């Protein structure tokens, strides 16, 4: 503990931020809060304010606060933060880019193996269209590469900036990506400019999708016009839907649920590792702000997974892939919880009480000579 640290410093943090006490407990006075219920009166005493995506940080929230030094969000997205206002107030802002990208990518992989099994689809024959080539889109593309599944990526902003040219990445048009067998959305909300993403899939673009396609949204609900989507589905369109995010959360369009293959409550990035990486990244940022050494890391606190070792004795294929993925994370669990209690308990209750979920990296996989495959290790499972 650095003696120069003000032990009376008030650190306000979202109660759903794992390991907050472990990371921040010796840096100040801790004050957990309910993310969607934080008021300006409560926030008035915060020296450090650590939030997740459901808390909007703006002039209204900080109207009574004259002491805040740092605002951090333990999320990839930052559309809930008024960064211009924070800069005007000279309040340091930090986020956690990439913290739950692996978690979201594994959510998509789990949905793919579930739907492939449900509809007898040859997973390895599909082409996946990825909209958004940032952290999450990149992690997904890496896992698809490991599986030998073809994909296209559309990201006009990255393409214009010529980012990733050093690794030979090629970008496709939105039209080509929207023509793929599976469309997976991984973009932030951008409401203006040359490439807005708000209602990117509007009524016109939705009507261009065919009956056999799969549409997955695990980024922001507003990327799809949910009302137009509902109209299309009520008219009998065969598009298969996977929705983890919804317009107007937590007051979502409940009527749309029955038209989805898989529904969940904005939890694609909610693996224990994904959420905890966000906490760790904010801890590192706060240490930098306070000019103190970083002496804690996530591995100090992560518990051992319920299943830690697996031995594979057969050649690797789709059935084995399905078994391996679902052993760690079967998205049908989250779909079942969502459908059973969304009306009785509500969207935020599901998020708040989300059961522990681990990532592929929590399991070590060994392969016998008969298996002769390194695919699981490239997919994210540890090598034993």
Cα–Cα distance, 72 to 93 (Å, whole number): 6
- Which residues belong to CATH 3.30.1370.170 in the chain? 309-383
The two beta strands, 10-14 and 48-51, are parallel
Residue 315's Cβ-count burial label (10 Å; 0-12, 13-18, 19+) is exposed
Q: How far apart are the two ends of the chain, measured CA to CA in Å? A: 37
Cα–Cα distance, 51 to 12 (Å, whole number): 8
Cα–Cα distance, 347 to 365 (Å, whole number): 35
Q: Supply angle C-alpha 214, 275, 140, rounded to 5.
A: 35
> Catalytic residue among 249, 273, 280, 359, which?
249
CATH code of 101-263, in short, is: 3.40.50.720
The radius of gyration computed from the CA coordinates of the chain, to the nearest angstrom, equals 21
Residue 150, phi then psi, degrees to nearest 5: -70, 150
Q: Nearest CA to 220 among 252, 181, 175? A: 252
Cα–Cα distance, 240 to 252 (Å, whole number): 19
- Which residues belong to CATH 3.40.50.720 in the chain? 10-95+271-300, 101-263
> Catalytic residue among 139, 186, 199, 220, which?
220
259 given a catalytic annotation: no
> Catalytic residue among 186, 266, 351, 357, which?
266
DSSP β-bridge partners for residue 275: none
266 given a catalytic annotation: yes
**Domain 10-95+271-300: which topology?**
Rossmann fold (3.40.50)
Q: pLDDT by residue for the chain (384 residues), tens digit each?
A: 444 556 689 999 999 999 999 999 999 999 999 999 999 999 999 999 999 989 999 999 999 999 999 999 998 889 899 999 999 999 999 999 999 999 999 999 999 999 999 999 999 999 999 999 999 999 999 999 999 999 999 999 988 886 545 557 899 999 999 999 999 999 999 998 999 999 999 999 999 999 999 999 999 999 999 999 999 999 999 999 999 999 999 999 999 999 999 999 999 999 999 999 999 999 999 999 999 999 999 999 999 999 999 999 888 899 999 999 999 999 999 999 999 999 999 999 999 899 999 999 999 999 887 777 889 999 999 998
The CATH class of the 309-383 domain is: alpha beta
Residues with Cβ within 8 Å of residue 260, at least 6 apart in sequence:
241, 242, 243
Give the model's pLDDT for residue 369. Answer: 79
C-alpha distances out from residue 140 to 20, 22, 56, 116, 166, Å: 28, 31, 28, 17, 19
Given a contact cutoff of 8 angstroms between Cβ atoms, the answer to whether 24 and 11 are in contact is: yes
Estimate the share of the chain in helix, then strand, then coil, as percent rounded to the nearest 5: 40, 15, 45
Residue 225, phi then psi, degrees to nearest 5: -70, 100
Give the model's pLDDT for residue 3. Answer: 45
333 given a catalytic annotation: no
Q: Nearest CA to 358 among 336, 335, 325? A: 325
Given a contact cutoff of 8 angstroms between Cβ atoms, the answer to whether 38 and 28 are in contact is: no
């Amino acid at each position: 503990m650095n003696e120069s640290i003000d032990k009376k410093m008030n650190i306000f943090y979202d109660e759903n931020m794992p390991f907050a006490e472990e990371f921040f407990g010796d840096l100040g006075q801790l004050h957990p809060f309910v993310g969607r219920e934080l008021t300006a009166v409560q926030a008035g005493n915060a020296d450090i304010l650590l939030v997740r995506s459901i808390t909007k940080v703006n002039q209204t929230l900080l109207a009574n606060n004259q002491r805040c030094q740092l605002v951090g969000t333990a999320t990839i997205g930052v559309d809930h933060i008024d960064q211009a206002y924070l800069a005007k107030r000279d309040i340091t802002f930090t986020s956690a880019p990439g913290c739950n990208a692996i978690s979201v990518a594994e959510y998509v992989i789990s949905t793919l193996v579930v739907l492939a099994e449900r509809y007898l689809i040859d997973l390895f024959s599909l082409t996946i269209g990825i909209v958004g080539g940032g952290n999450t889109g990149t992690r997904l593309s890496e896992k698809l590469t490991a599986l030998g599944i073809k994909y296209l990526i559309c990201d006009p902003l990255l393409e214009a900036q010529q980012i990733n040219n050093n690794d030979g990445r090629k970008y496709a048009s939105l039209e080509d990506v929207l023509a793929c067998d599976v469309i997976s959305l991984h973009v932030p909300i951008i409401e203006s400019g040359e490439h807005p993403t708000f209602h990117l899939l509007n009524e016109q673009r939705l009507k261009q999708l065919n009956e056999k396609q799969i549409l997955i949204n695990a980024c922001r609900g507003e990327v799809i016009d949910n009302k137009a989507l509902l109209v299309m589905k009520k008219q009998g369109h065969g598009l298969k839907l996977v929705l983890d995010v919804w317009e107007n959360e937590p007051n979502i369009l409940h009527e749309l649920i029955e038209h989805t293959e898989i529904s969940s409550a904005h939890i694609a990035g909610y693996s224990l590792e994904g959420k905890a990486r966000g906490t760790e990244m904010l801890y590192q940022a706060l240490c930098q702000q306070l000019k103190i050494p970083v002496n804690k890391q996530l591995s100090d606190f992560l518990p051992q997974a319920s299943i830690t070792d697996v031995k594979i004795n057969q050649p690797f294929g789709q059935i084995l892939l399905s078994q391996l993925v679902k052993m760690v994370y079967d998205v049908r669990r989250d779909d079942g919880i969502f459908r059973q209690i969304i009306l009785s308990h509500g969207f935020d209750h599901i998020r708040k009480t989300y059961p522990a979920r681990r990532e592929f990296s929590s399991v070590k996989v060994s392969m016998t000579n008969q298996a002769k495959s390194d695919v699981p290790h490239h997919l994210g499972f540890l090598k034993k």
